[in-house]
Structure 1
Amino acid sequence: MFAADAAAVPVRGGTLSLFAQPEPPSLVNALTPHVASQYVGGKIFQGLLGFDPQLRAVPVLARSWRASADALTYTFELQPGVRWHDGQPFGAQDVVVTLKEIAPQALPRTKVTFDKYVASIDASGPLQVTIRLKKPYAGLINLLGSGLLPILPAHLYQGKDPRSNPANQHPVGTGPFVFREWKRGAYIRVARNPDYWKKGLPYLDGIVFNVVPDAAARSIAFERGQIHALRAGDVDYADIARLAKLPGVEITTQGWELFTGMAFLELNQREPPFDNVLVRQAVLHALDRQFIVDRIFFGYGKVANGPFVSSSPFYDPNVPRFAYDPERARALIRQSGVDVGKFPLVLINGEKGGAWERVAEYTQQALGQAGFRLRVQTTDAAGWYARVANWDFDLSYNFLFQNADPDFGVAPLYRIDGISKGSPFGNVEGYRNPQADALWDAAALDTDPAARRARYAQLQTTLANDAAIANIFEMVNPTVYRRNVHNLLRTATSVNDSLEDTWIG
């Protein structure tokens, strides 16, 4: 997987067996940035850039790029000789349509960023794209390399509603693997792209993503050698240490350098009782977040303090903290004057079995002790996505990778202009604070790092005191894999990457 793999001679052929857990709501990850969609879609679709483990931008569909002296114009030279899986040539128009037309419709937080910073996106040549900015935006390269903006074929998507496009049912990308079959509830199959633009790749004949709803059955399948690798969440966290000790098996937390996830509980603030800030603060005091990390995720995490992960260069260690204190939770509810028990609340859970369902059940118990009347409703990933994206929830657990600059990776969860139906990864809770928005705006424009840190520190205090989102824990992502699987984690975007040079031998 790492340095030792470089000396080994790759073996061609073989089919990699993985899990699709949960079964993705869509395979077109440009439209559905759910982690399950990114996992499968990352083999079919590609973006302009990627990141190596040292978080340096590397070429993908863009072979080179340059910025003007004033940092307002970026020019991208595209790879020649690339073809879509249906044989059509890839070119600048595909990039323009994806970034200018499709992404703003499908991805609310991308739309917020583009509206704020991007003046124009043009095809300045058949294989050249020019992006002009309204003002300097240091996060542009991070955004384009984050895995969140794979390019879609203009000849299939231009001028059409991207969400209802029939092309979504048979994805056509430029990646190393071609979509072959999706038997719902059973498996997703992709096959080697014989015309891949990187000659000699991929090594694998194909990949099968197996849909196995039961966590215990997934663990047994790995034990029996039927599965080559496990991501975080593929099996019960209680089983990870045991499975990692099997003969011929390794475990690592490397390969997720770009993806520092924050797990949080969203509280719909449009109606009582969560329109009251004291009630929201009470929720944080009612939840034993260390228990969640230690007993449900078996140590693969770190209790969150505020909206930024602690690895962020802008994290403020002095952010207000809401320690586990059930009596304080009940006191805040009394102080609020809200009879929280009269509201029948539903927590939407998008995964049956495993850690997330147990977190939901624990939350039901803990908030019940504080006086809330709460039940858990479990659905599949597609159902969860639709409910949360359309604000049809009272509470919901979610997590988001805080990749890239905070202005893109965090801000859309809290900004007023992030309130938009269609995606569960924006301001779905309905938090509104114009003063906080002003701080986001000012911090994004600060060119002095110290001034920017100070602005973000003020912002973190504001968001924490407002309990805008109940941030629960920072995620740590283990990958368990068999030693005969090589080059599994070669970039900073984990197993969500293309696996173009992964091989079995």
Structure 2
Amino acid sequence: MKKSSRLIAGLVGLAGLTFAAAAGAQEKPTSGGTLNMIAQPEPPTLMVGLNTQGPTLYVGGQIYQGLLSYGKDLSLQPSLAKAWEVSEDGLTYTFTLQEGVKWHDGKPFTVDDVIFTADKFLREAHPRWRYIVNTYVESITSPSPDKVVFKLKRPFSAFLYAFELSSFPVVPKHIYDGTDYRTNPANNTPIGTGPFKLKEWKRGSYIHLVKNEDYWKPGLPRIDELYFRIIPDAASRAVAFEKGTVDVLRGGDVEGFEVRRLSKLDGVQTTTDGWEMYSPLAFIEWNLRRPPFNNKLARKAIMHAIDRDFIVRNIWFGLGKTAVSPFASTTRFFTDDVVKYPFDMAKAKELLAQSGIKPQEHTIRVMPIPYGAQWDRTAEYVKQQLEQLGFKAELVSIDAGGWSKAVSDWDFDLTFNYTYQYGDPALGVARHYLSSNIIKGTPFANNEGYENPVVDELFLKAASAVDEAEAKAAYAEAQKIITDDMPLGLLFEQRNVTIWRDKVKELVRTGIGVNESMDETWIAQ
């Protein structure tokens, strides 16, 4: 597979920490069995092209697939594309598709599905791909039945990172073409190419997937059935794992103190591997269209009033690292030469006084992201600190679907979110700050309403740079400006732990972890 030297140089490895050894190499894979996991919270939909919330990706990753996957070192791996080539000028990308692939309804997977996905479906429905295709892609064509060619208007150094499951889930043209994508009935009965098919979704109880007998990889998948259990209570999720009702716990399924306890059980393995592609970074999302958040000094004041080290240590049980930049420290182009916000209440009150904001005149609705008790505790702490500054604050609880709609419609004062970085800031970070990405309909765009033409230009310059040093300089300047403006309240870099019974083999194999197709995963009988 030919790649330009410029792009090869960009594939930087990110090492994860494994707490326990993987399955012994001598073991021979067996087929059959049922794997029990947890969908927390219950996803609003399984249609990955319309919703990229964590639970949707977890379940949907077994149904849908992208053109590529990525190793733990972020090396390119085949998925629906078996080969790829990049022209020396970095403007032409040619993907060769796998043969013999079928959709779950038996229809053949074709090059037309890929072109429809790229040029129509995701252009309309996906915030990251919409930006990429509108900004960089000149044409998408097919010179033969097994090839798709993307011709770019200008170089885009992150382009090969843009084809994993959550960024580029290939959808069936025969199901979606000519329909309203968001109301298509297939969103509730998804049709993909993945190793498992939807059998039943019993709302509030479980999502049941079964083996795809016509899967395009011979002899796979090895497991017969997957159950994603819906268990709203965190303590009950821990008990379910301890008793063996559940085999796998994903990052966020249980409280931090339970991670420590459950990891010590006999017959249990844990790892922080499988998050290299995502490197999630949590932040406060405040609506810059509304006071007091439309005031830069007020935002700076609030940042100084929040002890982020306390949040990591006491609410997240040390499973994180205080964020200093919108770029995770584990990713390319990170710099700590930025404006910093140490916890300092005196400084916070001084800045608030300078801002002209009278805090007693403002009631702030604090809306937790509904992903578990630790997010609730984080919201409670931030509410407390706002009140310390003199603001009135009230908690507004909401379910996952309601949260997604509120953020998508910009109907919030202050909430919480986290960004997946997707191997390159042009994909995972820029989308939250580019003024061109202020769009309704998704909770993962520039929902705060930040507009800075200098930042826009720096992100564009860096993403289009052929020279690594030029990109580094532009990204460094962007980080300085963003941390001075603080359009999102940077909190911490998440450190997620996956826990599983050691009868489960080959669970975390790539840089997208348990969102990867579990076609090679097996259960020791």
> What TM-score, normalized to structure 1?
0.98
Q: Which amino acid in 2 is paired with 1:378?
A: S
1:353: how far off? 4.3
Q: Which amino acid in 2 is paired with 1:216?
A: A
- Per mean C-alpha deviation after superposition, the further-off stretch among 420-429 and 72-81 is 72-81
Aligned residue in 1 for 2:126? 107
Q: Quick check: 2:52–2:166 contact (8 Å CA) kept in 1?
A: no
Aligned residue in 2 for 1:311? 330
Partner of 1:291, secondary structure, is helix
Between the aligned residues of both structures, percent identity stands at 44
Find the partner of 2:46 among 6, 20, 27.
27
Q: Which amino acid in 2 is paired with 1:340?
A: P
1:136-188 CA-partner distances (Å, limit 9, x unpaired)? 11211111136421100000011222111111010000000001111111110
Listed as ranges, the gaps of 5+ residues in structure 1 are: none
Aligned residue in 2 for 1:367? 386
Partners of 1:2 and 1:204 in 2: CA distance: 22
Partners of 2:423 and 2:262 in 1: CA distance: 33
1:442: how far off? 1.8
- Per mean C-alpha deviation after superposition, the further-off stretch among 102-111 and 59-68 is 102-111
1:232: how far off? 1.0
Aligned residue in 2 for 1:500? 519
1:54: how far off? 2.1
Aligned residue in 2 for 1:92? 111
1:370: how far off? 1.1
Q: Quick check: 1:146–1:258 contact (8 Å CA) kept in 2?
A: no
Aligned residue in 1 for 2:204? 185
Partner of 1:251, secondary structure, is strand
1:14-70 CA-partner distances (Å, limit 9, x unpaired)? 110000001112101121011110000000001100012221111110111111222
Aligned residue in 1 for 2:506? 487
Aligned residue in 2 for 1:51? 70
Q: Following superposition of structure 1 onto structure 2, how do residues 72-471 of structure 1 map, counting pairs within 5 Å?
A: 72-145=91-164, 147-351=166-370, 353-471=372-490
Partner of 1:407, secondary structure, is helix
Partners of 2:98 and 2:21 in 1: CA distance: 27
- Per mean C-alpha deviation after superposition, the further-off stretch among 211-220 and 252-261 is 252-261
Q: Quick check: 1:5–1:486 contact (8 Å CA) kept in 2?
A: no
1:454: how far off? 1.6
1:415: how far off? 0.7
Partners of 2:323 and 2:175 in 1: CA distance: 42
Q: Quick check: 2:332–2:424 contact (8 Å CA) kept in 1?
A: no
Dislocated runs of 4+, deviation >6 Å:
none
1:341: how far off? 2.5
Listed as ranges, the gaps of 5+ residues in structure 2 are: 1-19
Q: Quick check: 2:123–2:130 contact (8 Å CA) kept in 1?
A: yes
Q: Quick check: 1:230–1:480 contact (8 Å CA) kept in 2?
A: yes
Q: 1:307 to 1:291 in 2, by over 3 A?
A: same
> What TM-score, normalized to structure 2?
0.94
Q: Which amino acid in 2 is paired with 1:144?
A: F
Partners of 1:3 and 1:370 in 2: CA distance: 49
RMSD between aligned alpha carbons? 1.3
Partner of 2:396, secondary structure, is strand
Q: 1:85 to 1:360 in 2, by over 3 A?
A: same
Partners of 2:440 and 2:105 in 1: CA distance: 32
Q: Quick check: 1:51–1:146 contact (8 Å CA) kept in 2?
A: no
Q: Which amino acid in 2 is paired with 1:410?
A: V
Q: Quick check: 1:147–1:493 contact (8 Å CA) kept in 2?
A: no
Partners of 1:496 and 1:146 in 2: CA distance: 8
Partners of 1:171 and 1:59 in 2: CA distance: 23
1:436-485 CA-partner distances (Å, limit 9, x unpaired)? 11111222222222222122111111000001111100111101111111
Q: 1:146 to 1:2 in 2, by over 3 A?
A: farther
Partners of 1:138 and 1:439 in 2: CA distance: 14
